[in-house]
Amino acid sequence: MSTHPHPDTMPAAESADADAAAEVVDLDTARARRAAAPGGEVPDDDETVDAETVDDAPPAEGGPVDAAGDIPSEVLARRRERRPILAEWARSWRGVRAAAKHQGKDAGYVLAYHAVRSPKYAAKTALWAPIGLVRGIAQALHWASAEEGNWHLRQTAAQRGEADVWLKLDARRQRQTTWRWWVLALATAGIVTGLIVLALGPPWWRWLAALTVVPFLATRGRPADKPITDRVSEGTRYRKLTAVLVRRALTSVQMAAITSAVAKDPKAISFPVDIHRDGPGHLAIVDLPYGVEAAEVVARRGKLASAMRLPLDQVWPETAPGHTGRLALWVGYEPASAMKQPPCPLLNDGLKVDLFQPFPFATTPKLDQIMAELMYRNWLFGGQPGSGKTFALRLLLLAAALDPRAEIRGYELKGVGDFAVLEPVMAEYGNGFDDETLARAFAFIQWLYEECRRRSQRIAHYARLGKAPENKVTPELASLKGSGLRPLVAWFDELQELMTSKFGKEAGEILEKVIKLGRALGVIIVIGTQIPDKDSLPTGISRNVNSRFCLSVADQTANDMILGTSAYKQGLRATVFQPVSEAGWGVLRGLGKPQSVRSFYVDTTAAGRIVARAVALRTKAGNIPTFPTDRDVAPQHHVLDDLARVWPGDDKSVWNETLCAALVELRPDVYGGWGSAQLTAALKPFPIKVGDVWAKPADGGKATTKRGIVHTDLTAAITERDRKRSGG
Ligand SMILES: Nc1ncnc2c1ncn2[C@@H]1O[C@H](COP(=O)(O)OP(=O)(O)OP(=O)(O)O)[C@@H](O)[C@H]1O
């Protein structure tokens, strides 16, 4: 509420004083003064502006929020984008090679194009060369007469009756024509001499002269609008990326925001960097109109390709760093399907793999090599049938096989045998979707959890010795014999089969724990799945995976299950790939910048060659798993045999807790910490009923009913297992 008395109610003297004191306040000046005060506060000594002064001026137009002077110079220096000294294509061997290859290919194309048409060119040359000769002679004579231009001027002078001008012009013509005739005579003499030399010389001289002179004469003789050679039309083979083309394409992708912005301002689409060559193609960095996200354009890859009249796999839009409206549009010289992917470097005999280092895995559309890593990682491969996920997953295992330290175990739950080729280097391998294989896969997951527990104890031990400074497996520990910390690659292809089976819920929970624990312990989980919904791939698992390769998927949900929440919104869209025809293409996330890559193609025969090399390396290192006798057997085999071993005398039934205590005594590193629940879970894959049984404690106390098993179930389970093992 105002504290000023109203002028009408003021006493007259007071009012006069007030009038005298009152002055017109120049608000601009006052405002300037206020702004000058720190924090924009009203200075105390300001008499004209008080707490109640109301600034009714329209707000000033927004000045820069950060005056340039306020930004630290080092930040400004970082922001300043310097143009590269060398063009993008000349900055790497890959770029130079790609450019040379492209030019060479083009030259070859042009050569072949003309070679096919050479008979037509010969006929045209034969027709136009004599005309060219006559025309050439006529032109030479005309030049020698020096009438060009002069004749018209003389005619004009004659018409005007300017005799002296006419005479001057004619004298000039005579002077010119005299020396020109001499030149012509000398040239004719030269030609005649040349002809004599050619006549006397070897025949190839004449051929050479004919090949040079005749086409020249033909070009002089042909009509101006009829070239001898046909135009090399490049058609849709490759369109050089130009700003006009990009603008046209972007306004044709049916995005109202772009079309209306461009209609208002044709410069709404801008190019912060010039369009330039990049590898075997051109790259345009595009700033889209305000408010348009690059991800929305990426999703319209098909429409973009249509607007450019190019095959889909020649057009590669991606979001670019900087801001969400920046698009990186790369257009290849040719479709990716026509570009030959280099052979997988793993096939190279000289290539050694150290799992602690990156190894070649894929190529980008520009054919740059992308490296993958396995240590301290978990992988998730997802894609619809025919997208190429099995091949991609197998590639990782082939790389792991080439490091003799790596122990590979896994289950292929499709039952096709895509991974059978790796059997000689695997310590454990299951193939199928029958109950027994699923039970084994489940038991394997339980074992993995136990293995993590064991490994964490070992790591703690080595950390105490100062050998595990970061409390994780080091290359030295992985190589140390008897450390029990070799990289363990545990893989599951078509995991959805297990997750939707009766073991699913528990398997999912344990696997999630393994994924969380295993990373530092050298346990690497690699999962392939076809149906990435929350039942087939528990979110706890997908959330904890740090490397993802999403091949062709049908929809946004599947895309985000594999690549992580919001991936689709951020423009990482594997929905743009076609299964089968674009097999192997996918979005790779977790290894540097997320991007579209194609995994190296290694068919089963080639995989066999890699495995043979891996076997040789492993034999030399002395750790080829001799399946199944010499392998570090999974616990389902232990547990039955170990139970038989610790079974007390001829008791018909025994409590779980008694058995667990005996098991811990037998193998503390395996069974340490086991309780009744763990034993029940471990027995789940076998036909052993865990229920309330009548027994007495090991110390001979009073008999009662507790959870346990009966002896006949155990012996039956062992007999059944042995029968299956021997293939009976
Ligand atoms: N990187 C690649 N480059 C080229 N072709 C590939 C590539 N990867 C896979 N393919 C081809 O795609 C076919 C299907 O691959 P793959 O079996 O891995 O698919 P998938 O996604 O596992 O399908 P499904 O779920 O039906 O098994 C392969 O037979 C192979 O010919």
Nearest CA to ligand 1 atom 2: 584
Which residues are documented as binding site?
Answer: 383-390
Distance CA 348, CA 358 (A): 16
Hey, which of 389, 391, 496 would you mutate to test ligand 1's pocket, going by the most ligand atoms within 8 Å of its Cβ? Answer: 391
Q: Which residues belong to the annotated binding site for ATP?
A: 383-390
> Amino acid identity, residue 466?
G
Interval between CA 435 and ligand 1 midpoint (Å) = 26
Residue 420, pLDDT > 80, answer: yes
**Which residues, 6 or more positions from 408, have their beta carbon under 8 angstroms from its beta carbon?**
397, 400, 401, 422, 425, 426, 427, 489, 491
Cα–Cα distance between 498 and 412 in angstroms, integer?
10
Q: Which of 390, 536, 551 to mutate to test the pocket of ligand 1 (most atoms within 8 A of CB)?
A: 390
Ligand 1, residues at Cβ distance < 6 Å: 383, 385-391, 530, 583-584, 598-599, 601
> What is the pLDDT, as a whole number, of residue 592?
84
Q: Tell how far the Cα of 645 is from the centroid of ligand 1, in angstroms.
A: 47
Q: Which residue has its alpha carbon closest to ligand 1 atom 24? A: 385
Residue 279 φ/ψ region, left for φ over 0, alpha for ψ in the -120 to 50 degree band, beta for the rest: left
Compute the mean pLDDT over every residue in the chain, rounded to the nearest whole number.
Answer: 82
Rounded to whole angstroms, the Cα distance separating 5 from 115 reads 103
> What pLDDT, on a 0 to 100 scale, did the predictor assign at position 710?
93
For residue 426, list its beta bridge partners.
408
Q: Return the residue whose CA atom lies nearest to atom 19 of ligand 1.
A: 388
The residue behind tokens 């020396």 is: 179
Query: pLDDT digits over 534-590, tens only?
Result: 778 888 888 899 999 999 998 888 899 899 888 888 778 888 888 888 889 999 999
Instruction: Give the model's confidence band at 14: pLDDT under 50 very low, under 70 low, under 90 confident, else very high.
Output: very low
Q: What is the pLDDT of residues 442-458, one digit of tens each?
A: 999 999 998 898 888 88
Residue nearest to ligand 1 atom 1, measured at CA = 584
State the pTM of this model: 0.59
Which amino acid residue places its CA nearest to atom 25 of ligand 1?
A: 385
User: Residue 385 Cα, ligand 1 centroid: separation in angstroms?
Assistant: 8
Distance 511 CA to ligand 1 centre (A): 26
Residue range 280-290, pLDDT digits in tens: 888 999 999 99
| Residue ranges covered by each domain of the chain | 1-80, 118-221, 345-621, 635-725
Task: Find the 125 Cα to ligand 1 centroid distance in Å.
Answer: 54
From residue 240, give the alpha-carbon distance in Å to each of 113, 287, 306, 334, 464. 20, 19, 15, 11, 62
pLDDT in tens, 489-535: 999 999 999 999 888 888 999 999 999 999 889 999 999 998 767 77
Instruction: Kindly give the distance from the C-alpha atom of residue 586 to the centroid of ligand 1, in angstroms, as a whole number.
Output: 12
| pLDDT recorded at residue 291 | 92
Q: Residue 362: which of 371, 374, 354 has the closest Cα?
A: 371
338 CA → ligand 1 middle, Å: 18
For ligand 1, atom 15, name the residue with the nearest CA.
388
The conformation of residue 137, written as its DSSP 8-state character, comes to H
Reported as a pLDDT band with limits 50, 70 and 90, residue 233 is low
DSSP state of 68: G
Please state, in angstroms and as integers, the Cα–Cα distance from residue 494 to each residue in 432, 529, 547, following that order: 10, 4, 17
Whether 675 and 660 have beta carbons less than 8 Å apart is answered as yes
* Nearest atom, ligand 1, residue 599 CA: 1
- Range list of β-strands (E), 471-581: 488-493, 523-529, 547-551
8 A C-beta contact, residue 353 and residue 499 = no
Q: What is the CATH number of domain 345-621?
A: 3.40.50.300
Nearest to 458 by CA among 409, 522, 511: 522
Relative to the CA of 551, which ligand 1 atom is closest?
A: 21
The answer, yes or no, to whether residue 138 has pLDDT greater than 60, is: yes
Q: Identity (one letter) of the amino acid at 481?
A: K
Q: What are phi and psi of 336, to 5 degrees?
A: -60, -35
CA of 357 to the centre of ligand 1 (A): 26
